[in-house]
Amino acid sequence: MTSPERKNPARTDCHDPLFGQHSGLQAPVVQPHKQSLLKRLNRIEGQVRGVAQMVQDDRYCVDVLTQVAAIQSALDAVALQLLEDHTRGCVADALRADSGSKGNGDKVITELMTVVKRFAR
Amino acid sequence: MTSPERKNPARTDCHDPLFGQHSGLQAPVVQPHKQSLLKRLNRIEGQVRGVAQMVQDDRYCVDVLTQVAAIQSALDAVALQLLEDHTRGCVADALRADSGSKGNGDKVITELMTVVKRFAR
Amino acid sequence: MTSPERKNPARTDCHDPLFGQHSGLQAPVVQPHKQSLLKRLNRIEGQVRGVAQMVQDDRYCVDVLTQVAAIQSALDAVALQLLEDHTRGCVADALRADSGSKGNGDKVITELMTVVKRFAR
Amino acid sequence: MTSPERKNPARTDCHDPLFGQHSGLQAPVVQPHKQSLLKRLNRIEGQVRGVAQMVQDDRYCVDVLTQVAAIQSALDAVALQLLEDHTRGCVADALRADSGSKGNGDKVITELMTVVKRFAR
């Protein structure tokens, strides 16, 4: 889990990778695909519940595994959407505001690469 | 989704890859790790709900992505448990009952490889 | 690396997971897809050399990455072929020879699951 | 393979995602980790040759699979190095040169996401 809570910063503050440590001032912004993400996550939650029911009902293991694979694909799609929005938003803004100085841009890219590695094969 | 419903067959019927199509006779058996799987899936369901709440609250995208990665790892572990139990149970039983004839054993392995490919990188 | 060398055992000895430690006696057997595997590996070797040449020639990084992804796919296919042949051969033979006793079958499955985990996402 | 050949552009031209189509003018630049990448790729080429030899010698399939997994890991590391250098170089330069206009930056990010998806799980 993440503590302390870090609000998704207003776009104009997004280039500050340390915003989480001195936040409070920033107006949170809505994810560009917020409603579609919530809808997808809601569906995934139902799929997980469905798999639990399949296990409860002693359904055939291969059928359960097929459903788990479907959830994995749905989560992959959510992750890629979040990653793309983050790159187009926070990362790009930080770099555009950064011309010449090499200030926050480098930190934002380091953070991005850490996330990419987590999802890489 | 899977239709028609296929009960996890009794171990002794497990080597029949077609049991799902003429079931009814088979007594379903409990997954060897049923309670632990249900507990894990319950926790994963809560994690998915937590990620939805993070998106709802406009939390920082990198923090959301970290939580999605945690769910993926938890699902990977569930899938590997199911796969191992299936191999030790249904697949091994089918092959042990199959000595010489090469009957259902081959079908069960074909089905196993399909599942493995789905989770392979 | 693997030491000491373990010959791919003759099918009839394949169910002994310890054969590597007291080998010498076993006649090695040809992989069922030996020629096709060698051909694929030869092509992959050339692809790796091609990527090195691209780096040497300062080719655009995205084009280099695309070629690396192609090699990964080719290696995935080799791994799945090896895994399927191993399961249909050594694993199935061990289990078929094992009816009732639960001797080497369990060890062979433990080894199989270790391999599967290595290639799972 | 990629045709026509696209030189890795000089850093200052790197933000032009179309540079490959009208190149010739650009001085190619050395990858920041060129020597280390070449060394790694050279080692990977040897590993692939080693696996072919193992197959040729009828070595035990599980040992062959272990070596294939080692090559996959080595290629993953090469890909992540290339990806990070590309992001810190071409992508960041394009965005830094792009402040306000939203010109090439968007195209460079689209290309980056395509690459990331190829390596994502």
- C-alpha–C-alpha distance, residues D119 and C105, integer Å: 36
Whether D68 and C57 lie within 8 Å, measured CB to CB: no
Q: Would you say B87 and C109 are in contact if contact means Cβ atoms under 8 Å apart?
A: yes
Rounded alpha-carbon distances, angstroms, from residue B91 to B104, B119, C94, C100, D109: 9, 18, 12, 14, 46
- A13 Cβ contact partners less than 8 Å away, ≥ 6 residues apart: A19, A26
Which residues from B are below 8 Å from C when comparing CB atoms? 76, 79-80, 83-84, 87-88, 91-92, 95-100, 105-106, 109, 112-113, 116-117, 119-121
More confident residue, B5 or D32: D32
With beta carbons under 8 A apart, name residues in chain D contacting B121: 72, 121
CB-CB neighbours of D84 under 10 Å: 18
Query: pLDDT 10s per residue in chain D (121 long)?
Result: 444 566 655 443 343 444 444 344 444 556 889 999 999 999 999 999 999 999 999 999 999 999 999 999 999 999 999 999 999 999 998 898 886 555 688 899 999 999 999 998 7
Q: Would you say C38 and D56 are in contact if contact means Cβ atoms under 8 Å apart?
A: yes
pLDDT of residue A19 exceeding 50: no
Whether B31 and A58 lie within 8 Å, measured CB to CB: yes
With beta carbons under 8 A apart, name residues in chain B contacting C32: none
Q: Enumerate neighbours of C (3 or more CB pairs within 8 A).
A: A, B, D
Among D79, D88, D97, select the one facing A99 at the smallest CB separation.
D97
Over range C55-80, report the average pLDDT: 95
Q: Would you say D6 and C67 are in contact if contact means Cβ atoms under 8 Å apart?
A: no
pLDDT of residue B66 exceeding 60: yes
Whether D60 and C31 lie within 8 Å, measured CB to CB: no
Q: Which of C41-45, C62-66, D17-21 has the lowest mean pLDDT?
A: D17-21
More confident residue, D18 or C30: C30
Q: Would you say B107 and B90 are in contact if contact means Cβ atoms under 8 Å apart?
A: no
Runs of H (alpha helix) within chain D: 34-56, 61-86, 92-96, 104-119
Give the count of Cβ contacts less than 8 A between chain B and C.
Answer: 68
Q: Would you say B72 and C85 are in contact if contact means Cβ atoms under 8 Å apart?
A: no
With beta carbons under 8 A apart, name residues in chain C contacting A121: 72, 121
More confident residue, A121 or C116: C116
pLDDT of residue B70 exceeding 50: yes
Nearest to A34 by CA among B51, D100, C97, D86: B51
Residue in C closest to A76 by C-alpha: C121
pTM for the structure as a whole: 0.83
Q: Which of A102-111, C70-79, D22-31 has the lowest mean pLDDT?
A: D22-31
Over range B25-34, report the average pLDDT: 66
pLDDT of residue B23 exceeding 50: no
Q: At what angle do helices D34-56 and C34-56 cross, to 10 degrees?
A: 170
Radius of gyration over alpha carbons of chain D, in Å?
18
- C-alpha–C-alpha distance, residues B8 and B25, integer Å: 12
Q: What is the pLDDT of residue D120?
A: 86
Nearest C-alpha of chain B: how many angstroms from C59?
27
Give the count of Cβ contacts less than 8 A between chain B and D.
Answer: 3
Confidence of residue C105 (pLDDT cuts 50, 70, 90): confident
With beta carbons under 8 A apart, name residues in chain C contacting D4: none
Burial of A86-117, coded b for 16+ CB within 10 Å and e otherwise, reads bbbbbbbbbbbbbbeeeebbbbbbebbbebbe
Q: What is the pLDDT of residue C116?
A: 94
- B81 Cβ contact partners less than 8 Å away, ≥ 6 residues apart: B33, B36, B37
Looking up tokens 């200052």 gives D12
pLDDT of residue B61 exceeding 60: yes
Q: Of the segments A3-12, B46-55, B103-112, D106-115, which one has the largest average pLDDT value?
A: B46-55
| Percent of chain B surpassing pLDDT 70 | 71
- C-alpha–C-alpha distance, residues B65 and A86, integer Å: 10
pLDDT of residue B82 exceeding 80: yes
Whether D61 and C111 lie within 8 Å, measured CB to CB: no
Residue B59's DSSP bridge partners are A7
Over range B59-70, report the average pLDDT: 95
Whether C109 and B88 lie within 8 Å, measured CB to CB: yes
Whether A59 and B5 lie within 8 Å, measured CB to CB: yes
pLDDT of residue C34 exceeding 60: yes
Q: What is the pLDDT of residue B105?
A: 86
Among C80, C99, C109, select the one facing B97 at the smallest CB separation.
C99
Rounded alpha-carbon distances, angstroms, from residue B73 to A1, A68, B70: 14, 12, 5
Whether B109 and C92 lie within 8 Å, measured CB to CB: yes
Nearest to C121 by CA among B77, B107, A16: B77
Give the count of Cβ contacts less than 8 A between chain A and C.
Answer: 3
Phi, psi of C109 (to 5 degrees): -70, -40
With beta carbons under 8 A apart, name residues in chain A contacting C121: 72, 121
Q: Would you say B121 and A121 are in contact if contact means Cβ atoms under 8 Å apart?
A: yes
Among A99, A112, A120, select the one facing D99 at the smallest CB separation.
A99
Over range B8-12, report the average pLDDT: 46
Q: What is the pLDDT of residue D20?
A: 43
Phi, psi of C98 (to 5 degrees): -115, 5
- C-alpha–C-alpha distance, residues A76 and B68, integer Å: 9
Looking up tokens 């998106």 gives B55
Whether D7 and C57 lie within 8 Å, measured CB to CB: yes
Phi, psi of D98 (to 5 degrees): -115, 5
Whether D75 and C72 lie within 8 Å, measured CB to CB: yes
CB-CB neighbours of C97 under 10 Å: 19
Confidence of residue B64 (pLDDT cuts 50, 70, 90): very high
Which ipTM did the prediction report? Answer: 0.81
Rounded alpha-carbon distances, angstroms, from residue A40 to A36, A47, B19, C42: 6, 10, 34, 44
Nearest C-alpha of chain B: how many angstroms from D79?
15
Burial of A3-40, coded b for 16+ CB within 10 Å and e otherwise, reads eeebbbbeeebbbbbebbeebeebeebebebeeebbeb
Over range B48-62, report the average pLDDT: 95
| Percent of chain A surpassing pLDDT 70 | 71
Confidence of residue B121 (pLDDT cuts 50, 70, 90): confident
Residue in D closest to B118 by C-alpha: D121
Confidence of residue C27 (pLDDT cuts 50, 70, 90): very low
Q: Is-cis flag, bond preceding A4, omega within 30?
A: yes
Q: Would you say C85 and D33 are in contact if contact means Cβ atoms under 8 Å apart?
A: no
More confident residue, C29 or B116: B116
